[in-house]
Each structure stands twice: as structure tokens, then as C-alpha cells.
Amino acid sequence: MGNPDPTDLINLETHRIPFKQSPMDFGQWAGAFRSWPNETPGWKEWYHRLAKFKRVQWDELKIGQCINLSLSQMEKNEPFVIAASYFWSDALNAFLFGHGPMTPTLADVLMLTGLDISSPDTPFDYLIKPTHRLEKKGIGGWKGISAKT
């Protein structure tokens, strides 16, 4: 079944890392993270208005923590993200450092986000008929939805 020792693969991946081959030029990365999420106007007000009625249902569906997480301010630290990307291996889906590969674990997710990692997964049943429909024509996207509800 081949060589179970990953040292050769790690060494090959390490030589592919851009910082090994070229000097770091942050000027090339201007605007690289344009898709960073912006705060939607009215989102917090919409959340607080609906949470009074829907919080129990959100928690039963195990989405309450994710909706709460959407209220957090995620500041973009672009130099940090750029520096971390130099160590990312798309072949191994891990960061490659001098001591070996490192990947985020479930414990890291818990520490960074506070999300529940120990509950069983609740799959969505695509065969049931939805209880309500989202009106989408003429409402103006999420801004219109948050203003209407």
C-alpha cells in the first residue's frame, strides 16, 4: 500500500509554498479579500425583533448558535490572512509549518466560535412540505426582508 511515512509528501509540499520561492510582496494582494462579509444594515434590529418569538425554535433546530454568531464583528486582519495563506497546502488541506502539518480541529472551532461540536447532526428532510414560503419578488434582497419581518 505504499510508504505510510508522510515525510516525503510533506517535503514536496513544503517546496511548493510560495514564500520558499519568492519574496513576500503585500502589494500584490491589494483587494484580495473583497468578499469579506460586510454588516447588513438592520440585521441586528431584525435579529432582536425575531429572537423574541423564534429563539426557542432556533435552538430546537440547532441553528440558534449560528444565528447568534452572525452578530459578531469579524474584523479583517488582512496581513495575518495573507501570511497564513503562504503556509496553506491545497493538496493536504492543512497548514505546513517547519514542525509539520497543522489543521484546524473541532476543539479549535469550539474555542474560536463557541459553536456546539458535541451534538449529533440533524439532517434536513427534503421530502416534507415546507410550512411557509419566503416572499422574494419585489422585496429588494436581504435588506427588504429584514425590514419587512
Could you tell me if 63 and 80 lie in one domain? no
Over 94-125, what HEC string results?
A: EEEECCEEECCCHHHHHHHHCCCCCCCCCCCC
Could you tell me if 81 and 115 lie in one domain? yes
pLDDT tens track for 65-74: 888 888 887 7
Could you tell me if 67 and 84 lie in one domain? no
**Do the domain assignments include residue 31?**
no
**Do the domain assignments include residue 112?**
yes
**Do the domain assignments include residue 108?**
yes
Q: What is the pLDDT of residue 83?
A: 82
Could you tell me if 87 and 60 lie in one domain? no
Q: What is the pLDDT of residue 26?
A: 59
**Do the domain assignments include residue 69?**
yes
Could you tell me if 80 and 53 lie in one domain? no
What are the strands, taking DSSP E only, across 15-139?
A: 88-89, 94-97, 100-102
Q: Of 74, 100, 130, which residue is a domain's last? A: 74
Could you tell me if 114 and 100 lie in one domain? yes
Could you tell me if 69 and 81 lie in one domain? no
Domain of residue 57 covers: 40-74
CA distance 111 to 73: 16
Per-residue pLDDT of the chain (149 residues; tens, 9 = 90+): 566 776 776 666 666 555 445 555 656 666 666 666 777 888 889 899 999 999 999 888 888 888 888 888 777 777 787 788 888 888 888 888 888 888 888 888 888 888 888 877 766 666 777 776 766 666 666 666 666 65
Amino acid identity of 78?
A: E
Q: What is the pLDDT of residue 135?
A: 65
Count of positions (residues) in the chain: 149
Could you tell me if 60 and 86 lie in one domain? no
**Do the domain assignments include residue 124?**
no
Structural domains counted in the chain: 2
- CB count within 10 Å of CB 96 equals 20
Could you tell me if 86 and 102 lie in one domain? yes
Could you tell me if 80 and 110 lie in one domain? yes
pLDDT tens track for 31-52: 666 666 777 888 889 899 999 9
